[in-house]
Chain A
Amino acid sequence: MGSHGHFRARGRGRLGAVSSVYTEKLEFLTNYPAIPTYRVLDVEGAVIDESQDPKLDKATLARMYECMITLNTMDTILYDAQRQGRISFYMTSYGEEASHMGAAAALTNDDVIYGQYREAGVLMYRGFTLEEFMNQCYSNERDYGKGRQMPVHYGTAKFNFQTISSPLGTQLPHAAGSAYALKLEGKKACAVCFFGEGAASEGDFHAALNIAATTESPVIFICRNNGYAISTPAKEQYRGDGIASRGHGYGMDTIRVDGNDALAMYNAVKEARRIAVEESRPVLIEAMTYRVGHHSTSDDSSAYRSKQEVADWQKNHSPITRFRKYLEARGLWNEEQEQALRKDVRKRVLKAFSAAEKLKKPPVEDLFNDVYDEMPPHLAEQKAELVRLMKKYPEHYDASDYAASKSM
């Protein structure tokens, strides 16, 4: 062993690159081959290679499709609600529905999810109800985040979905750490981290993938490459072959997937989960998709991309239509069911919406809670000061929209 190791160290690229051999050819690597994009369905929803059809049961397929429609409907209604000034902010997932449901269906609820913000479908698939979504977006007293964060910053321990944080990329190293902890516990579970191709430019991306690789942490990094980071097109974001090409650099199992193909996403995430959990290795998945909606309600994308480009994507690459055609071809779906589902979903969304709107904001005391596990004296003093001010100047501190505080 010893002499063999010695030979390798001399004969090959030394300690930093143990499998490298010497060459006398002066040659810079360039023109790397592009990583292919794995798919199961063609754009018409037909299975291209039957061996790749995961043959999911009827109930799973129905749940995936229902969630896509529900997410899409919720997005439309909440986007409009923001336009009408009823909620302060919103972000849609238009065009990315398949990647959410394909991934979610391949995971178990023990897998810890870290999202960026455009992954509401994953949470929905896990069972987060319309009421729960609306309560967060309305920042009402039932919002688990107690009204403190902007709309779409969901999170719940119940579904192992860590609360969304706006600063980009920060969740990537968290996912690596959680994955390592899951491994220490001997849990048959992994961490799953979603992020945009824009966020992949943050330093935290490098930190996370490298630390996950060296610690052999069971984490799946899922990049949603939707072509834009606000106005910045992917071609100004990086010059390599997308995000997937970086996996090689980290020594990580990597795949690029057609993110508009729910079944391809399912297969990729299922296998990634096996690698992560069974073989204790991180995996990188790049889901190629398109951000059909504006970045957020604060954005008007017509300032930087043509309406035609968006329309073309919607028409030719709708992940929902593609999945529906797959279901229809198998006799699992028809126009009648479609109409009934859409009508029912719309009704349920509107009902949840008006219920959430009627609820009060969280109690004002929640301003001071949860900064620490217990309130330190200086904060208690500040809270008492606010109580004094609210009593003295009730006309300036109208708290009638807020639920009653027990402690103030």
Chain B
Amino acid sequence: MQGVNESRFIKNTREQALANPELAAVKNSETKKLNLYQAVNEALATALATDEKAVIFGEDVSFGGVFRCTMGLAEKFGKHRVFNTPLTEQGIAGFGIGVAAVGHTAIAEIQFADYVFPAFDQLVNEAAKYRYRSGNEFNVGGLTVRMPCMAVGHGAHYHSQSPEAYFAHTPGLKVVIPRSPIQTKGLLLAAIRDKNPVVFMEPKILYRAAVEQVPVDDYTLPLGKAEVIKEGKDLTVVGWGSQLYVLERAIAMAEKRMPGVSIELIDLRSILPWDIETVTKSVNKTGRLLIAHEAPQTGGFASEIATTVQEHCFLRLEAPIQRVCGWDTPFPLVFEKFYVPSAIRCFDAMERALKF
């Protein structure tokens, strides 16, 4: 993916990786060069090693999964803990709920986020409401459902979607999307150990493209917390997953073409619950906001952020909140470059906000 290798958010050395205050607990850890799918694998191996009640399952996971995320785990931890399921997403989600309902840790893989919809009923009506409807007699906090999401350049309708907003509309679920290998390991372990069902979406284009020095020790990163990954004073930009690298390039263009301007970039990380405080604090500083995501604009998560920020920062806003999103069409194969919120589109909207 363009811009990932050169990204300033990618930690290429141990020192860079461990400079992150969120990693203070492992500041003496060794680090290891891993790409994002290997970081998933590390997190899963750590989960299996530290929680004897954890199991991993899904379509094709026992040979390593179609993206190699579960490679070697069945051999290392046993076929009873890492196993193939029949080809049924509703079954996978429902089975995971059952595993979690009796106190075990269920880590389910849905092969593509585009194929999560047969599991929608189980996740939205069952997993999300399990605790509430039972008066907290039962919960399925042990459930984590992983799935690859977002564009890859040739995925068309059904290997490209970003369905985070559907799940964000569901009280009781948590929704998390990481941007890099270090983030992935920490957020995935946090998701697995969190006491609520978590939908964990992995930007598949980064599986191989994003490589970092990842701490070897066991660590988690906080759910529900955004991260300011670049500070600035004139405009707040919010994104998640692989879109952050697009936004980084757009910001570079804007700061170059508008000397003196500085732009703040926030990785939302958790879509639900989301970090209103970090975002509104930033907008109260900059007075301007842009949100970008690949999912279609109408009803996308940008709408929720824009509304909340408008409520919290109305008097501080100096320009209309900008949304740069996928158009309101299915995700189209040959038109992908015209469809996505590309760097130039994001730049254009940044300029519009800054020159308003």
Which residues of A are at the interface with B, using a C-beta cutoff of 8 A?
88-89, 139, 147-150, 153, 165-169, 198-199, 201-204, 229-232, 236-238, 298-299, 303-304, 361-362, 364, 366-368, 371, 378-379, 382-383, 386, 389-390, 392-393, 396-397, 399, 402
Contacts and interface: CB of A to CB of B under 8 A. Distances in A.
Given A148-B156, A202-B118, 20 more contacts: A88-B333, A89-B154, A139-B334, A147-B334, A148-B332, A150-B154, A153-B156, A166-B159, A167-B158, A168-B87, A198-B87, A202-B89, A203-B91, A229-B60, A304-B63, A364-B335, A367-B339, A371-B328, A371-B330, A382-B327
B202 to A, nearest CB: 17
Given A201-B88, A237-B87, A392-B348, A147 B333 contact: yes
5 contacts: A139-B334, A147-B335, A149-B156, A230-B59, A399-B338
Contact of B90 (A203, A361, A392, A402): A203
Contacts of A168: 87, 115
A165 B158 contact: yes
Contacts of B342: 396
Nearest to B153: A88
Contact of A389 (B59, B332, B344): B344
Top 10 A-B residue pairs of the complex, sorted by shortest distance between their CB atoms = A147-B334, A201-B86, A166-B158, A367-B335, A88-B154, A396-B344, A201-B87, A198-B87, A150-B156, A231-B63
Contacts of A236: 62, 84, 86
- Give the interface SS of chain B, mostly helix, strand, loop or mixed: loop
Contacts of B87: 168, 198-199, 201-202, 229, 232, 237
Contact of A203 (B60, B84, B88): B88
B48 to A, nearest CB: 20
Most buried by B among A238, A303, A382, A397: A382
A304 B114 CA distance: 25
A124 B333 CA distance: 24
Interface string B137-158: 0000000000000000011111
A165 B159 CA distance: 12
A232 B344 contact: no
Contacts of B327: 367-368, 379, 382-383, 386
Contact of B115 (A150, A167, A361, A364): A167
Nearest to B88: A201
B20 interface: no
Interface in B73-102: 84, 86-91
Contact of B329 (A199, A362, A371, A389): A371
Contacts of A303: 63-64
Given A231-B63, A303-B64, A364 B159 contact: no
B276 to A, nearest CB: 27
B258 interface: no
A267 B86 CA distance: 31
Nearest to A379: B328
B297 interface: yes
B348 A389 contact: yes
A231 B348 CA distance: 45
A150 B332 contact: no
A232 B66 CA distance: 11
A397 B298 contact: no
A279 to B, nearest CB: 32
A203 B91 CA distance: 8
A312 B123 CA distance: 44
A119 B327 CA distance: 33
